[in-house]
Structure 1
């Protein structure tokens, strides 16, 4: 079987209406599958003015605004709906890909099982950690049980980092898990994109050391830990500036917590590469990522990275070589790790260059080939099972 024989039905909770790292990876994956001759259909909530055009044909599914404070820009798929079911029947996929454990994906999983179609699930975020950021940590064990049941009903999983695979295995989410990493566009993210004039326009002097935050401004990205770390650096009188790239519902809170911080706003494409490369140290305290696209992008720009030693970053950052890995949520330890980069230019340059070299290993074509091979394997295995069952049923008693 070839990639061109695949008919892929992808279910996503957010395919293109709000740009994020997960849907950028999914769109790039579907683009690669289309380039190799596969048929693709995507089922996801749709909005009147999405952030970008979808890759592949997109079919809307029923949805509501996310019923969580501060997440109103996201939609919750509530099921398949008649339109999607009719389209599935007409499209006749031979593989179903679920990228979010939402109600629509649960329904799609049941539909696939009823129709004897294999299912691959991709893991993009640490959903079980989210309740703790909304004062509902008591729900975490329940979320883990729901995720375990969902993922174990799938035929296989793919996850973006070895550290995430280890976590999934340890929590018994599945035992068939492949590594679907992430790539980085070196034409966008590179040390050469550093722009001193752009820095100056924001009030950054050439010798200022800018500590960068990049991502959606939501609390689960570790904004509280970032802010407390900056407080600790100021108490220690470590010279630095703060550069925040991104936007989101918690921007007001973050601005109040970081007086004097420079907020550059939301950036994409070449503008994002310019902004990121114009920083000096990248600080990522988040523990919710399964990979950390922003961490890889910062490395590609030649910035040393200080990150929480959690899933994602621990598979990217080489401690004391491309940056530092710090115990999660420890603002004092983060400040201690960041301080030398603010005062030692040679250390900053050496670790930044090592990170840029490592980022060069992440090639999108080879990375997406892993998923294509997994699709093919699951389809072939299912075809063999069906053929065996048909042969047995046809054999004389």
Structure 2
């Protein structure tokens, strides 16, 4: 195993030993909650269980919990959940953070010792899990799923950004390895002083998300005629998603194409204000499963204005659904979108370029349709199985943390 100069470990994707392992996933958010972290963990856990591993989940109690198909699948495959106390996350009332003593987890793991622990979130539950795993000598890996330090500027608390960066550095550097979703995030975490890291990307379910699920009746409900443009956004309706950029972009599109419609799928603190200021926008709320896939496939242009996402699963879901994505050259777009080939992307500071790209798609149906077709073809290559392969290898075949310290002391560059 070797590492490059930014702390990112360079490793081949190889099958683990083939032995059935016990892997514990610790997260403050988990299905049936709807967000990028929960979505990623859903595919991760199911993929690991299909390989025969025993997967145990430690998570907070969610508000209004109910059984879901996912939980039924977990039970069927003999995996277990340990639910701890959950309290509302400020600014994200529907999400909760976990409260748990390290001693509780240490006792739990002394009775049923995991071969590896993966901590997906850096809240109080994550801190307790890292402490318990370290004290028990269990290999522990963390994931950098969310740019919380960058969120602070969107909530009037930009002065906390350095403090949050310091906290993130402390948290992740207590684990043997931090998994990041893109090469750009590897650079960001290196700048924060987090090391070592390894890029672990995301797949997309191309059976669920498919252009074949386009629903003309739904488009008619949206008030569209056959050649009208459906501009789509899917995600949290919140300030950190840069939604004002999406609104400005759509209004420019509508100035040239009055029959275009803007459909914003999701929920969040901005929903009420959007509904009041733009009563003509279509706000269907949170959609799941096949209904979500139908909404994706019924769109034409997908706007992803976020500048804070670490990945953005919605980008690859939109590609799989055959949409023409407009995004900034960051997160998933930086990895998977080739400008004017399978999508459109603008540099991070270039808001006007973002709008211009969307206008070109709206004005040039031939370009839009070519990009939509190529996006679907490229999404078919983004298989979750390869990502599960890599995850399995990384968390089950990592050297102890002092191995990485020895590499640094010997002058071998880390990413």
Structure 1: runs of 5+ lacking an equivalent? 386-397
> Closer, same or farther in 2 for the Cα pair 1:326/1:238, shift >3 Å?
farther
Matched residue count: 380
Q: Quote the RMSD (CA, aligned, Å).
A: 2.3
Aligned with 1:210 (options 206, 221, 230): 230
CA offset digits 1:336-355 (Å, max 9, x no partner) = 11111112110001111111
Q: Distance in 2 between matches of 1:78 and 1:365?
A: 33
More deviation in 269-278 or 319-328?
Answer: 319-328
CA offset digits 1:312-348 (Å, max 9, x no partner) = 3211211121222123475433221111111211000
> Closer, same or farther in 2 for the Cα pair 1:144/1:265, shift >3 Å?
same
Q: Distance in 2 between matches of 1:206 and 1:285?
A: 26
Q: Distance in 1 between matches of 2:132 and 2:143?
A: 18
Equivalent residues of 1:238, 1:342 under 8 A apart: no
Note the 1:259-278 alignment, pairs <5 A. Answer: 259-278=279-298
Note the 1:1-397 alignment, pairs <5 A. Answer: 2-47=17-62, 48-50=64-66, 52=68, 53-54=70-71, 55=74, 56-66=79-89, 68-69=90-91, 71-80=92-101, 83-175=104-196, 177-234=197-254, 240-328=260-348, 331-378=351-398, 381-382=399-400
> Closer, same or farther in 2 for the Cα pair 1:203/1:106, shift >3 Å?
same
Q: Distance in 1 between matches of 2:239 and 2:24?
A: 32
Match of 2:10 in 1: none
Equivalent residues of 2:106, 2:136 under 8 A apart: no
The higher relative CO (CA closer than 8 Å, separation ≥ 6) is in: 2
Structure 2: runs of 5+ lacking an equivalent? 1-15, 404-415
> Closer, same or farther in 2 for the Cα pair 1:249/1:50, shift >3 Å?
farther
CA offset digits 1:166-197 (Å, max 9, x no partner) = 3223333112x233221222222112211212
Q: CA deviation at 1:114?
A: 1.1
Q: CA deviation at 1:50?
A: 4.3
**Length-normalised TM-score, structure 1:** 0.89
CA offset digits 1:229-273 (Å, max 9, x no partner) = 223444566763211122233211222343421223221111111
> Closer, same or farther in 2 for the Cα pair 1:238/1:341, shift >3 Å?
farther
